Structure 1
Amino acid sequence: MQLITTRDATRLTGLSTEQLREWTSRRALIPPDVKPKGHGSPARYSWQTILLLRLAVVLRDHFKMELHAHRDLFPELGAGLARTSFLSLWGKSLALYGGTQWRLIDPREEVLGTDDCIMLRLDPHLQQLSDSFALPKPTAPGQFQLFPALSMIAETAANHSTGRRSNG
């Protein structure tokens, strides 16, 4: 599993280093995947944790929600994301029903029940994560990349600059 440091986490979430520490350590809303071992040792974060942090920023900034009041939701979401593949999240929205109740919704699917919910689209967040973690993204409806194109482009450019030929 690829993990990123605090520096990259702040870039991907829009949180300052101090805010990130507040949310992940002091208030423990969304803990890091690897806690710092000591002073000067950075925490490390998986794509699932970065996605949770990005969604928390949306809830705070766009919906003006007090995150501490919903602190039980984040471990539930984290556990659910840990069981869900990155590819299966594309095209989905997250429906938050209050408390710890949530569900992944396909846009073609009707939201069931009469309960109110907050819907968060995942694709803009997944796009950022895909670029930063070199995770696959859909290329056409129902199809996904077999390997990230960025590594192919970089390899091709390196081969051209050194005069080597690719074996492809």
Structure 2
Amino acid sequence: MLRHAKAVHDPGLDDEDRALTKRGVRDAAAAGGWLREADLIPDLVLCSTALRTRQTWEQVSAALGPAGAQAAVNFESRLYYTGGTGLLDLIREIPEEAGTVLMVGHNPAFHQLVVDLTGQHEPAFPTAALAEIQIRGPWRDTCPGSGDLIRFWMPRPPV
């Protein structure tokens, strides 16, 4: 699970149309580099339809190199509009042949999903942070408590 990188705050824009800042672009590329080094190459990417999440995925994909271009990418509005059980429903719909899945989305829904799946309360889920969660069992059986938090990465230490 990857929270989008830092985006501009412009009251004149619709929330869905907010773009990444320069720092956001750098942090998203760093997240992609971390995924590459950790050998977490996604088979499937589920990405929110918001501009900042799409731009985050573009930077991550570029940092992954050729492997990033091979991932199937689904732009999913439910990652923008839904939280809680809606995200669990989305996970349950993942095809079983997808081994490694990257979800690119938003808080507070992502932070809550980490808590729901793993029972672990990270103190924060800042922009461009990544949570690697191992789901026990098939995707279709995903439920609260069915995941283990393996690693949590942030582009910089929390302040």
Which of these two proteins has the greater Rg computed from alpha carbons? 1
TM-score, shorter chain, exceeding 0.5: no
Q: Which structure's residues are more often helix, by fraction? A: 1
